[in-house]
């Protein structure tokens, strides 16, 4: 990998000879770059504005303890898509980690997702699955789902007031910095309750964490003689030097590409507070949610528990408190808010994106480039489809680029 630090000295010669420019080195961009290089023998240049590869999936050892920390929040790989699973196993082996989450509410710890164990513990009584179903249905009957006017009413109509107020209300208020009575009912479509003791968080066929960490996995994807990655390069500082018509995959923020001509799209962001704690185990699990509204953070990650097979220090651990808020202009965008106003802006950006593909050979992809929340497996699957259906045919045979934002 190389790094340019003085964009003013960059000329068109720096971008000559590449068959494809990829803007951003997250999973979407690297998947397309890897496919173009290995399947079509094309030369690919990846531009990354950060000082490291991998986008938000980047991980690194905490210096004092050596514990691997996911710098931009916990990343948990899971998928039921066999094609995606077979693809990623070319670059890494996976552990047998299965994600489980717990929630702290009023000094007590409960197992999530909401299941028979949580119901029995919360209501202080043993219920059979049928008894639990009847109890929740009775409590949820307070409000008919079709009559729900806001998120709070929708939540109560799905799981009843007691569980909503304990596990959804405070957490949601912190996530959105808004009273749930002021949030749209459309934000939640379902709140799953399991009437078994199963507390595995994901239901996917395949699940695990990369044995050597995310950064090693991502670096292997880019480790090909046809791929060059340039770090510390902001696309917007250099795009005038890219020869006109060079096929380009852009995975940065969609609205920024077009100079916010249709307005800024709304995002939520996350803040992280990392601490080395002088104990071998802080909370006994990888993720603890904090449901009480008066606790300012939404959850605490303890990263040693993601890799119990590793030989980490016995007297120190790393915890990261996570805070959620609306993203400002200079914040890292994480989750699309998707209000009606955002969706109207997005439709206008979609039309601009189609035109950009036709006129300038630029395609948009990934979470930021399509204004969609994509888990890692979704980003990889979408990138494979985009390569199969759009980018590959264009690079191989000169087929016109389809600029729609769906793969």
Residue 158: the pLDDT is 93
From 62, 152, 207, 322, active-site residue: 322
* CA 133 – CA 138 distance, rounded (Å): 8
Q: Is 239 a catalytic residue?
A: no
The whole-chain average pLDDT of the chain stands at 93
Q: Is 34 a catalytic residue?
A: no
From 165, 212, 234, 375, active-site residue: 375
Strand locations in 24-120 (E): 44-47, 59-61, 68-70, 77-79, 101-105, 108-112
What pTM did the predictor assign? 0.92
Beta bridge partners of 110: 103
Q: Is 169 a catalytic residue?
A: no
* CA 130 – CA 139 distance, rounded (Å): 14
Residue 6: the pLDDT is 54
Q: Is 256 a catalytic residue?
A: no
Residue 11, pLDDT above cutoff 80: no
Residue 4, pLDDT above cutoff 90: no
Residue, of 13 and 16, whose pLDDT is higher: 16
From 194, 230, 304, 350, active-site residue: 194
Residue 407: the pLDDT is 44
Give the residue from 16, 36, 2, 56 showing the smallest Cα distance to 245. Answer: 16
From 299, 304, 350, 367, active-site residue: 299
From 130, 190, 311, 329, active-site residue: 190
Q: Which domains does the chain have, with CATH numbers?
A: 12-60+211-264+337-397 (3.40.50.720), 114-187 (1.10.3110)
Strand locations in 66-107 (E): 68-70, 77-79, 101-105
Residue 321: the pLDDT is 98
Within 8 A by CB and 6+ apart from 296, the residues are: 174, 323
Residue 294, pLDDT above cutoff 60: yes
Tell me what the mean pLDDT of segment 169-184 comes to: 90
Tell me what the mean pLDDT of segment 207-230 comes to: 97
User: 321: buried, middle or exposed (CB in 10 Å: 19+, 13-18, 0-12)?
Assistant: middle
What would the pLDDT profile of 252-289 be if each residue is shown by its tens digit?
Answer: 999 999 999 999 999 999 999 999 999 999 999 999 99
From 86, 347, 373, 406, active-site residue: 373
From 35, 230, 268, 367, active-site residue: 268
Classify the C-alpha dihedral 179-191-139-297 as positive or negative: negative
What would the pLDDT profile of 142-160 be if each residue is shown by its tens digit?
Answer: 999 899 999 999 999 999 9
pLDDT bracket for residue 5 (50, 70, 90):
very low
User: 137: buried, middle or exposed (CB in 10 Å: 19+, 13-18, 0-12)?
Assistant: exposed
What would the pLDDT profile of 63-110 be if each residue is shown by its tens digit?
Answer: 999 999 999 999 999 999 999 999 999 999 999 999 999 999 999 999
Tell me what the mean pLDDT of segment 300-311 comes to: 97
Q: Is 299 a catalytic residue?
A: yes
pLDDT bracket for residue 8 (50, 70, 90):
low
Share of the chain above pLDDT 70, in %: 97
Residue 399: the pLDDT is 87
Residue 7: the pLDDT is 55
Q: Is 49 a catalytic residue?
A: no
């Amino acid at each position: 990998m190389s790094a340019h630090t003085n964009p003013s000295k960059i000329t068109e010669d720096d971008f000559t000879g590449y068959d494809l420019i990829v803007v951003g080195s997250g999973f979407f961009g690297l998947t397309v770059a890897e496919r173009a290089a290995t399947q079509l023998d094309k030369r690919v240049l990846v531009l990354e504005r950060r000082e490291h590869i991998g986008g938000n999936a980047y991980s690194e050892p905490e210096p004092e303890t050596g514990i691997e920390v996911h710098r931009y929040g916990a990343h948990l790989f899971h998928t039921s898509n066999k094609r995606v699973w077979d693809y990623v196993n070319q670059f890494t082996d996976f552990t047998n980690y299965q994600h489980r989450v717990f929630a702290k509410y009023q000094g007590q710890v409960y197992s999530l997702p909401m299941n028979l164990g949580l119901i029995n513990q919360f209501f202080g009584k043993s219920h059979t699955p049928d008894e639990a179903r009847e109890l929740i249905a009775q409590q949820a009957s307070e409000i008919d789902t079709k009559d729900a006017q806001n998120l709070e009413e929708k939540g109560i109509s799905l799981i009843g007031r007691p569980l909503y107020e304990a596990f959804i209300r405070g957490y949601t208020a912190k996530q959105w910095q808004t009273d749930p009575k002021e949030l749209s009912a459309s934000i939640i479509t379902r709140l799953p309750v399991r009437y078994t003791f199963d507390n595995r968080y994901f239901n996917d066929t395949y699940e695990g964490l990369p044995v050597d960490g995310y950064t090693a996995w991502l670096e292997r994807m880019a480790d090909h003689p046809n791929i060059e990655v340039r770090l510390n390069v902001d696309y917007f500082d250099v795009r005038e030097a890219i020869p006109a018509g060079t096929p380009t995959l852009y995975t940065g923020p969609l609205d920024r590409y077009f100079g916010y001509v249709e307005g800024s799209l709304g995002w939520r962001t996350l803040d992280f507070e990392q601490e080395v704690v002088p104990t071998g185990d802080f909370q006994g699990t990888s993720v603890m949610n904090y449901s009480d509204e008066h606790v300012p953070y939404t959850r605490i990650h303890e990263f040693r528990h993601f890799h119990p097979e590793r030989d980490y220090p016995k007297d120190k651990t790393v915890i990261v408190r996570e805070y959620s808020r609306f993203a400002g202009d200079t914040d890292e965008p994480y989750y699309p808010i998707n209000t009606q106003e955002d969706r109207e802006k997005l439709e206008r950006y979609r039309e601009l994106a189609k035109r950009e593909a036709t006129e300038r050979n630029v395609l948009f992809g990934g979470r930021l480039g399509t204004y969609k929340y994509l888990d890692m497996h979704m980003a990889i699957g979408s990138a494979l489809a985009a390569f199969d259906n759009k980018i590959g045919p264009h690079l191989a045979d000169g087929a016109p680029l389809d600029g729609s934002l769906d793969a």
